[in-house]
C-alpha cells in the first residue's frame, strides 16, 4: 500500500505540475535604434516626400509626433547623390525641388542622424527604371462583376520585371459593398466596418515578367480585389529591385507558424524601410452588378 | 575530419588482418547450426532473437527474417538458449554433428509483458546481453509497446517515438520527428524496405503508420551502419506483420475519430496474409453537425502476403496506400463561397525474396516503389498545384557468415527518383520535372575478437546522377566492449550523405527536391559514445553523448521571391521556373547533447524515464546576418516519463490469476524547455505602397506599423509541460476480447504556448502593445474500443 501511496503522489504531482497558463515573458529585448526610410523616386518628377523616421521599442507608449527625424532635433543630414535634401516642417518630409529624377540612373541616398544619443548612418542605392513603360488603355469603362474582368495592358519598361498594382475603390461605403459576393457569404455590416481598410486597399504583384521583348503584358484584376460597386483607380508601379524586395517581404515578417523572419531590405548601416524607384501610371474602371 | 574517419577505418581493417591468426585458428570446419526462430502463437519470424550456446559462451542473433547461423562449431551435445523479450526462453539440448549444417527451427511462446520480476531467472535473456547486442543509438518497439503509450486520439507511431530521449516534435500539431537536432527530412522512413516520403495524415497531426499492422519498429538515432544511407540523421525501419501462420486473427478499433481493422490469416501451409484498413469519419459526423468543421477524411490500408516456399526461399509482397482528402469551403451553408480542394497521399509497394544460397550466405532482394503526390486547386485565385515524388529501387543485401567471429554484409541499390512539381498561377508557372539516379554499394565487416568485443567497420559508396554528378564514399565504424557482466561501452562514428531536400509548408504537405548543381549534397558526421548497464536484472540504464555536424544543409528561403529568376517564358509570356536555384538558403550546423534513459520492460509497472540535453547551432546564408542561431526545434532539456500499470495486479493480487478481466493505466509526462522564437525588437512606420499612406499627415493608425525582428530565435517560449493518461479495461471472452479505453491528452489542460502575436491599441494618439499567446492543444478526452478475435 505504501507503493500505491507513492504512486498516487507521483500522479498528483505530475498533474499539478502540468496545469496552468504560463505567461510569455520577452524580457530584455535588445532595442537597436534605426533610421526608417520611406522614399520613392519617380523619373520625370523631382525628389519629394522622402520620410525619415525612427523605429521604436515594443510594449511602450509611442507619441507619433516624436517619430519623425528632423535636422534640428536629430542633427539629421540627408542627401541624394551628394545633393542635400530640405526638410518640410509642415509635411514632415524631405525634398529637393531642383533635383529632377531621370530614367536609368543610379541614385544614392545617404542619411546620418542622432537617435537617443547614438550617431547612426545609412545608405541605399536605387537605379531608376528605363523609359518605355506605357499603359495601353487608361479608361476601361464599365466592368460587370463576375462576368468580366478589368484587364490592364501595358508595355513594361525594359529591364523592369516587377509590377505592383494598387487597387483602390473610390467613394467606397458600406452601401455599395458587395454583400452577395460568392466568396465570403453572410457578411454583416459590422464585420465590414471593422475590416473596412482590408477591403478597400488591395495589392497585387507580378514578378519577373518578360520586359525585354517589347510586347504587351496583360494583367487581370480578380474579383477578390474588388469589394464595392463603384469606380476604381489602379496605380501600376514598375519598381526597381529595392521596391520589389520591400513589397515582397515587409508584411511577411511573421510566418504562419508565428515565428518572425528578416525582411529583405537594401540598406547599408543602420537603415530599414524602402528607398526605391518606380515608373507609374493609373488605370480607371467602374464595377457594376452583373445583371 | 573525413581523413580521420578513413584512417580509423583502415586501422581497424588493418587490425583485423593483423589478427588473422585469431580468425584462422577458428577456420571453417563446415559444421554449422542454422535456423529460424518464430513466434509460436502466429508463426511470425522473430527479429533480433538471441541464440546462445551455454557451453561455448557465444551465439548469434536472428536477422530480419528470423534467420541465424552459428558457423565453425565443434561437434557434441550443447545447450542452446533461445530468448526474446516478451517470450519464454526455450532451452534445448542439441546434438551438433560434424561437417554438416545442423538445421534448427524454434518456436517461442509469448508471455505477458507484465511478468513479475521475481520470477526472472538466469534462464531468461539477460538484459545486459540484450543491451550489448543492440547497435549504438538504436531503439526497438513492437506494436504492443506503441499502443500502451497514452495517445492523442489515435495510436500513432511517430507520436509514441516522441516519448523517447533525443526525439522531439515541433508542436502538438505535428507528428514529425526531430531526432538529435536533425530535421524530419533527415530521417529515412522505411516500410517493409520501401522509402516513404511525407508519412503524415491530417496536416501532420497523425502519421501514416497503422500501429496494429506493425510487427516491429527499429529506430536508429545516429551512428547507423553502412547498410543504411541517403539521410543525415536517423533511420526508422518499420516491418509490418507477415500474417498469422496458424489461424485467422483480427483486431478492430473504433474511436471518435476513426475505425480500423487488421486481419491476418494463413494461406494453406505455405504462407500467410495480413491486411489493415483505417478510415476517419469526420466528414460523415462532425462535418455534418458543425459548420466550421471542413469536409475532410483520410484512409490508409496495407496488404502483405508472405510465402514460405521452403527453408531456403521466402517471398513477400507488400503494398500500402494512404490518402487525405479535404474540401474546404469558407461557408458550407452558402451556395457560393470561397473554396479549395486538396488531396495527398502515399502509395508504396515492395516485392521481397529471401534466399539462403548456402547456410553461411543469406540474401535478400527487393524491388520497391514509392510515390507521394498531392493536388491543390484554388479556383478563385486561379491557382493549381500538382506535386509528385516517385522512388523506384532495386536492392540486394547479403550476409556472409565467414567465420564464427566474422560476418561480412554487403549489398547494392539502384534507385530512380522522379520529382514533379507543377504550380500554375495566373501570371507565372513553376514546372520542375527531373529524373535522378542513385547507385549505391556497401560493405560491412562485423568482427567479434572475443565475447567482450564487437567491432564493425564498413563503407558505403554512392554515385548520384542529376544535372551534375556526385560520388561519395562514407566510412562507418562502431565498437562495443563489455566492461563486465552488467555493463558495456559503445562508440560509433560515420559519415552520412543526403541527396534530397524538403521544403516544409505550414499544415500542407512538404515538397521534396533533389540535390543538383545549385543545391549540393548534404553531409553529416556522427560521433557517439554510449554506456549501458543492467540494474537489478530488470532495469536498463543507458546514456549516450553525441556530436554531429552538418555541411550543406538547406532551409527554405522565406524571401524566395526576391531572388528567383525564370528559366524561360512560355507562349503566354509568363515566367516559368524549372529549378531550385535560390529556393533554399544553404547552411552548416552542429548538434551535440547527452541522453539518459532508465527503462523497465517487465513487471506490473513498466516504462521508462529519460532526460535529454541538446544544443543545435545553425549558420545559414542570408539568415541572422550569417551569425549562428538555434533552430526552432532546439529544446535544450527534455524529460519524458512513460509508465504502464497493471491495476489488477496492484490492487487484487490474490485473484489476479483467476481474473478474465483487467484494468490498465497508462501515463505519459513530458517536460521540455520552451522553443526558441524570434521576437520583434522594434516597430516602425512605413506604408505598404506609396499611395496608401497616412505617414506624415499625423494620422498614424494603429494598423500601419511594421514589426522588425531581433536576433533570430534568441528567446524561448515558456516551458512545455504535458501529462497524458489512459485507462483501458480488457474483458476476455475466450476466443475474443473487448477493450474499451479512455484517453486524456493534456490532463492538466496546460496552455502550452505555440507562438505569440502582438496586439496593439490606439488611444489618445498613442499606441500600446501587448503580447498575445497562441496556445497548443487543450485537454482532449477520447473514447474508443479495441476488439480482438
B288 has a pLDDT exceeding 90: no
Q: Reduce the DSSP state of residue B57 to 3 states and report it.
A: coil
The answer to whether the CB atoms of B750 and A18 lie below 8 A apart is yes
| pLDDT range class, residue B458, cuts 50, 70, 90 | very high
Residue A23's pLDDT is what?
84
Residues 312-331 of B with CB under 8 A from A: 330-331
| Residue range B247-275: mean pLDDT, rounded | 92
The answer to whether the CB atoms of B685 and A15 lie below 8 A apart is no
Query: Quick one: cell of B443?
Result: 560493405
The answer to whether the CB atoms of A184 and B337 lie below 8 A apart is yes
B772 CA: distance to closest CA in chain A (Å): 8
Q: Which of B285-294, B349-358, B408-417, B456-465 has the lowest mean pLDDT?
A: B285-294
| Residue range B479-488: mean pLDDT, rounded | 95
Of residues B384 and B64, the one with the higher pLDDT is B384
Residue B195's pLDDT is what?
94
Each residue's pLDDT tens digit, A144-156: 999 999 999 999 9
**How high does pLDDT run on average in chain B?**
87
| pLDDT range class, residue B640, cuts 50, 70, 90 | very high
Q: Which of B58-72, B263-277, B315-329 has the lowest mean pLDDT?
A: B58-72
Residue B112's pLDDT is what?
59
Class of domain A35-127: mainly beta
Each residue's pLDDT tens digit, B313-330: 999 999 999 999 999 888
Residue B8's pLDDT is what?
47
Task: Report the share of chain B in percent with pLDDT over 90.
Answer: 53
Each residue's pLDDT tens digit, B253-265: 998 888 999 999 9
Nearest CB to A15 within list B624, B681, B723: B723
Q: What angle do CA B622, B624, B627 make, to 5 degrees?
A: 100
Residue B15's pLDDT is what?
44
Nearest CA in chain B to A146: B380
> What value does the CA radius of gyration of chain B take, rounded to a whole number of Å?
28
Q: Are B159 and B236 in contact (CB under 8 A)?
A: no
B280 has a pLDDT exceeding 80: yes
Q: Are B725 and B747 in contact (CB under 8 A)?
A: yes
B723 has a pLDDT exceeding 50: yes
Check if B216 contacts A (Cβ < 8 Å).
no
User: Which residues lie closer than 8 Å to B414 by C-beta, 6 or more apart?
Assistant: B393, B394, B395, B437, B438, B439, B440
Selected for mutation to probe chain A from B328, B378, B425, B558 (highest A CB count within 10 Å) is B558
B204 has a pLDDT exceeding 80: no
Nearest CA in chain B to A205: B427
Nearest CB to A64 within list B681, B682, B765: B765
Residue B761's pLDDT is what?
66
A150 CA: distance to closest CA in chain B (Å): 14
Residue B110's pLDDT is what?
84
B11 has a pLDDT exceeding 90: no
Check if B180 contacts A (Cβ < 8 Å).
no
Selected for mutation to probe chain A from B689, B707, B721, B756 (highest A CB count within 10 Å) is B689
Residue B14's pLDDT is what?
45
Cα–Cα distance between A248 and B15 in angstroms, integer?
60
How do the domains of chain A map onto residue ranges? Answer: 35-127, 134-264+278-288
Check if B198 contacts A (Cβ < 8 Å).
no
E runs forming strands in B621-689: 637-646, 661-672, 676-677, 680-685
E runs forming strands in B234-338: 234-240, 249-255, 258-267, 271-280, 295-310, 313-329
Among B51, B399, B346, B85, CA closest to B216: B85
Domains A35-127 and A134-264+278-288 share a fold: yes
The answer to whether the CB atoms of B751 and A21 lie below 8 A apart is yes
Task: Report the share of chain A in percent with pLDDT over 90.
Answer: 68
Nearest CB to B771 within list A26, A91, A220: A26
User: Which residues lie closer than 8 Å to B313 by C-beta, 6 or more apart?
Assistant: B353, B354, B355, B356
Residue B257's pLDDT is what?
84
Backbone angles phi, psi at B735, to 5 degrees: -80, -10
User: CA dist B108 to B39, B88, B123, B152, Å?
Assistant: 5, 6, 14, 34
The answer to whether the CB atoms of A164 and B689 lie below 8 A apart is yes
Of residues A107 and B292, the one with the higher pLDDT is A107
Q: Which residue has the cell 543545391?
A: B519
Chain B residues with CB-CB distance to A15 below 8 A: 723, 747-748
| pLDDT range class, residue B702, cuts 50, 70, 90 | very low
Compute the CA torsion angle B128, B133, B139, B141 (nearest 10 deg). -80
| pLDDT range class, residue B597, cuts 50, 70, 90 | very high
The answer to whether the CB atoms of A259 and B331 lie below 8 A apart is no
Would strands B428-447 and B575-577 be described as parallel, antiparallel, or unpaired?
parallel
Residue B650's pLDDT is what?
73
The answer to whether the CB atoms of B380 and A223 lie below 8 A apart is yes
Query: Quick one: cell of B120?
Result: 526472472
Cα–Cα distance between B782 and B645 in angstroms, integer?
20
Nearest CB to A183 within list B337, B562, B752: B337
Residue B215's pLDDT is what?
87
The answer to whether the CB atoms of A208 and B695 lie below 8 A apart is no
User: Would you call B542 exposed, middle or buried from its count of C-beta atoms within 10 A (0-12, 13-18, 19+)?
Assistant: buried
**How high does pLDDT run on average in chain A?**
91
Residue B116's pLDDT is what?
52
Of residues B649 and B270, the one with the higher pLDDT is B270
Each residue's pLDDT tens digit, A200-253: 889 999 999 999 888 899 999 999 999 999 999 999 999 999 999 999 999 888
A239 CA: distance to closest CA in chain B (Å): 11
Residue A7's pLDDT is what?
75
Selected for mutation to probe chain A from B170, B684, B692 (highest A CB count within 10 Å) is B684
| pLDDT range class, residue B345, cuts 50, 70, 90 | very high
| pLDDT range class, residue B551, cuts 50, 70, 90 | very high
Nearest CB to B680 within list A58, A252, A274: A58
Cβ pairs bridging A and B (under 8 Å): 267
Residue B700's pLDDT is what?
46
Residue B449's pLDDT is what?
92
User: Would you call B537 exposed, middle or buried from its count of C-beta atoms within 10 A (0-12, 13-18, 19+)?
Assistant: middle
Of residues B65 and B26, the one with the higher pLDDT is B65
Each residue's pLDDT tens digit, B92-119: 999 888 877 788 999 998 875 544 554 4
CATH domain A134-264+278-288 topology:
Immunoglobulin-like (2.60.40)
The answer to whether the CB atoms of B683 and A55 lie below 8 A apart is yes
B710 has a pLDDT exceeding 70: yes
Chain B residues with CB-CB distance to A5 below 8 A: none
Cα–Cα distance between B277 and B577 in angstroms, integer?
40
Check if B573 contacts A (Cβ < 8 Å).
yes
| Residue range B13-42: mean pLDDT, rounded | 63
Of residues A31 and B165, the one with the higher pLDDT is B165
Cα–Cα distance between A258 and A253 in angstroms, integer?
9
| Residue range A99-119: mean pLDDT, rounded | 96
Chain A residues with CB-CB distance to B696 below 8 A: 49, 51, 68, 91-93
Cα–Cα distance between B308 and B270 in angstroms, integer?
5
A160 CA: distance to closest CA in chain B (Å): 13
Amino acid at each position: 500500500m505504501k507503493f500505491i501511496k507513492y504512486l498516487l503522489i507521483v500522479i498528483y504531482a505530475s498533474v499539478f505540475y502540468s496545469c496552468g497558463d504560463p505567461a510569455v515573458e520577452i524580457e530584455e529585448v535588445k532595442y537597436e535604434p534605426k533610421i526608417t526610410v520611406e522614399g520613392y523616386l519617380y523619373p520625370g518628377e523631382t525628389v519629394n516626400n522622402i520620410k525619415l523616421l525612427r523605429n521604436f521599442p515594443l510594449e511602450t507608449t509611442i507619441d507619433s509626433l516624436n517619430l519623425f527625424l528632423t535636422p534640428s532635433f536629430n542633427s539629421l543630414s540627408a542627401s541624394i547623390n551628394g545633393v542635400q535634401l530640405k526638410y518640410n516642417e509642415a509635411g514632415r518630409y524631405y525634398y529637393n525641388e531642383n533635383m529632377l529624377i531621370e530614367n536609368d540612373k543610379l541614385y544614392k541616398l545617404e542619411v546620418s542622424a542622432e537617435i537617443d544619443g547614438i550617431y547612426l548612418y545609412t545608405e541605399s542605392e536605387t537605379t531608376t527604371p528605363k523609359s518605355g513603360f506605357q499603359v495601353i488603355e487608361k479608361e476601361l469603362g464599365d466592368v460587370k462583376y463576375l462576368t468580366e474582368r478589368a484587364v490592364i495592358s501595358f508595355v513594361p519598361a525594359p529591364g523592369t520585371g516587377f509590377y505592383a498594382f494598387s487597387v483602390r475603390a473610390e467613394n467606397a461605403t458600406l452601401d455599395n459593398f458587395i454583400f452577395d459576393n460568392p466568396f465570403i457569404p453572410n457578411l454583416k455590416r459590422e464585420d465590414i466596418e471593422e475590416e473596412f481598410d482590408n477591403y478597400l486597399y488591395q495589392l497585387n504583384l507580378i514578378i519577373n515578367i518578360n520586359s525585354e521583348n517589347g510586347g504587351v503584358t496583360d494583367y487581370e484584376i480578380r474579383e477578390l480585389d474588388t469589394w464595392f460597386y463603384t469606380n476604381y483607380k489602379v496605380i501600376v508601379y514598375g519598381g526597381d529591385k529595392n521596391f520589389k524586395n520591400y513589397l515582397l517581404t515587409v508584411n511577411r515578417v511573421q510566418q504562419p507558424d508565428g515565428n518572425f523572419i528578416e525582411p529583405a531590405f537594401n540598406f547599408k548601416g543602420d537603415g530599414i524601410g524602402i528607398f526605391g524607384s518606380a515608373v507609374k501610371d493609373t488605370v480607371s474602371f467602374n464595377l457594376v452588378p452583373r445583371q | 575530419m573525413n581523413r580521420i574517419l578513413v584512417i580509423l577505418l583502415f586501422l581497424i581493417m588493418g587490425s583485423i588482418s593483423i589478427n588473422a591468426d585469431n580468425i584462422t585458428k577458428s577456420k571453417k570446419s563446415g559444421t554449422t547450426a542454422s535456423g529460424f526462430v518464430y513466434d509460436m502463437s502466429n508463426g511470425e519470424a522473430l527479429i533480433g532473437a538471441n541464440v546462445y550456446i551455454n557451453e561455448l559462451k557465444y551465439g548469434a542473433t536472428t536477422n530480419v527474417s528470423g534467420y541465424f547461423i552459428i558457423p565453425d562449431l565443434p561437434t557434441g551435445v550443447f545447450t542452446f538458449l533461445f530468448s526474446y523479450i516478451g517470450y519464454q526462453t526455450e532451452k534445448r539440448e542439441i546434438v551438433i554433428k560434424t561437417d554438416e549444417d545442423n538445421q534448427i527451427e524454434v518456436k517461442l511462446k509469448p508471455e505477458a509483458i507484465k511478468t513479475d520480476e521475481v520470477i526472472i531467472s538466469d534462464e531468461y535473456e539477460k538484459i545486459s546481453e540484450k543491451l550489448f547486442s543492440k547497435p549504438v543509438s538504436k531503439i526497438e518497439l513492437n506494436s504492443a509497446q506503441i499502443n500502451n503509450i497514452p495517445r492523442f486520439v489515435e495510436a500513432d507511431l511517430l507520436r509514441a517515438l516522441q516519448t523517447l530521449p533525443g526525439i522531439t516534435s515541433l508542436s502538438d500539431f505535428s507528428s514529425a520527428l526531430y531526432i538529435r537536432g536533425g530535421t524530419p527530412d533527415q530521417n529515412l522512413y522505411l516500410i517493409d524496405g520501401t522509402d516513404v516520403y511525407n508519412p503524415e495524415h491530417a496536416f501532420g497531426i497523425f502519421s501514416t503508420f497503422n500501429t496494429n499492422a506493425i510487427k516491429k519498429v527499429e529506430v536508429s538515432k545516429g551512428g547507423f551502419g553502412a547498410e543504411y544511407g541517403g539521410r543525415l540523421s536517423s533511420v526508422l525501419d518499420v516491418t509490418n506483420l507477415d500474417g498469422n501462420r496458424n489461424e485467422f486473427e483480427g483486431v478492430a478499433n473504433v474511436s471518435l475519430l476513426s475505425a480500423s481493422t487488421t486481419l491476418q490469416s494463413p494461406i494453406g501451409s505455405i504462407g500467410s496474409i495480413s491486411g489493415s484498413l483505417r478510415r476517419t469519419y469526420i466528414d460523415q459526423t462532425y462535418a455534418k453537425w458543425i459548420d466550421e468543421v471542413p469536409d475532410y477524411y483520410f484512409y490508409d490500408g496495407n496488404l502483405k502476403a508472405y510465402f514460405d516456399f521452403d527453408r531456403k526461399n521466402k517471398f513477400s509482397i507488400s503494398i500500402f496506400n494512404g490518402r487525405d482528402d479535404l474540401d474546404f469551403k469558407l461557408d458550407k451553408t452558402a451556395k457560393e463561397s470561397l473554396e479549395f480542394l486538396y488531396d495527398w497521399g502515399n502509395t508504396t509497394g515492395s516485392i521481397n525474396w529471401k534466399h539462403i544460397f548456402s547456410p553461411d550466405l543469406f540474401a535478400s532482394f527487393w524491388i520497391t516503389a514509392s510515390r507521394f503526390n498531392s493536388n491543390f486547386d484554388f479556383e478563385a485565385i486561379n491557382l493549381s498545384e500538382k506535386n509528385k515524388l516517385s522512388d523506384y529501387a532495386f536492392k540486394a543485401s547479403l550476409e556472409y557468415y565467414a567465420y564464427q567471429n566474422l560476418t561480412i554484409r554487403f549489398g547494392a541499390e539502384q534507385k530512380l527518383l522522379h520529382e514533379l512539381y507543377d504550380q500554375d498561377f495566373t501570371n507565372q508557372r513553376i514546372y520542375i520535372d527531373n529524373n535522378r539516379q542513385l547507385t549505391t554499394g556497401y560493405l560491412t565487416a562485423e568482427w567479434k575478437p572475443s565475447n567482450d568485443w564487437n567491432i564493425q567497420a564498413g563503407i558505403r559508396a554512392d554515385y548520384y546522377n542529376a544535372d551534375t554528378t556526385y560520388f561519395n564514399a562514407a566510412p562507418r565504424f562502431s565498437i562495443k566492449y563489455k566492461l563486465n557482466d552488467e555493463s558495456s561501452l559503445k562508440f560509433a562514428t560515420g559519415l552520412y550523405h543526403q541527396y534530397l531536400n524538403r521544403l516544409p509548408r505550414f499544415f500542407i504537405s512538404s515538397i521534396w527536391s533533389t540535390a543538383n548543381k545549385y543545391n549540393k549534397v548534404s553531409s553529416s558526421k556522427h560521433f557517439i559514445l554510449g554506456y549501458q548497464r543492467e540494474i537489478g536484472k530488470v532495469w536498463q540504464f543507458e546514456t549516450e553523448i553525441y556530436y554531429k555536424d552538418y555541411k550543406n544543409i538547406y532551409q527554405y528561403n522565406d524571401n524566395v521571391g526576391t531572388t528567383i529568376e525564370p528559366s524561360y517564358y512560355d507562349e503566354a509570356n509568363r515566367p516559368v521556373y524549372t529549378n531550385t536555384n535560390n529556393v533554399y538558403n544553404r547552411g552548416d550546423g552542429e548538434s551535440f547533447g547527452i541522453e539518459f534513459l532508465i527503462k523497465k520492460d517487465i513487471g506490473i509497472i513498466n516504462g521508462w524515464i529519460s532526460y535529454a540535453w541538446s544544443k543545435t547551432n545553425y549558420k545559414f546564408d542570408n539568415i541572422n546576418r550569417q551569425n549562428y542561431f538555434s533552430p526552432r526545434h532546439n529544446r535544450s532539456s527534455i524529460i519524458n516519463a512513460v509508465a504502464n500499470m497493471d491495476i489488477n495486479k496492484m490492487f487484487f493480487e490474490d485473484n489476479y490469476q483467476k481474473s478474465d478481466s483487467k484494468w490498465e493505466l497508462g501515463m505519459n509526462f513530458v517536460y521540455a524547455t520552451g522553443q526558441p522564437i524570434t521576437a520583434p525588437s522594434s516597430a516602425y512606420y512605413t506604408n505598404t505602397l506609396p499611395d496608401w499612406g497616412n505617414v506624415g499627415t499625423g494620422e498614424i493608425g494603429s494598423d500601419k506599423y511594421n514589426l522588425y525582428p531581433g536576433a533570430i530565435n534568441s528567446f524561448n517560449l515558456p516551458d512545455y509541460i504535458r501529462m497524458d493518461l489512459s485507462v483501458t479495461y480488457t474483458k476476455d471472452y475466450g476466443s475474443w476480447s473487448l477493450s474499451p479505453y479512455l484517453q486524456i491528452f493534456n490532463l492538466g489542460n496546460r496552455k502550452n504556448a505555440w507562438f505569440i502575436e502582438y496586439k496593439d491599441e490606439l488611444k489618445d494618439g498613442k499606441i500600446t502593445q501587448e503580447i498575445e499567446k497562441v496556445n497548443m492543444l487543450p485537454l482532449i478526452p477520447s473514447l474508443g474500443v479495441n476488439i480482438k478475435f
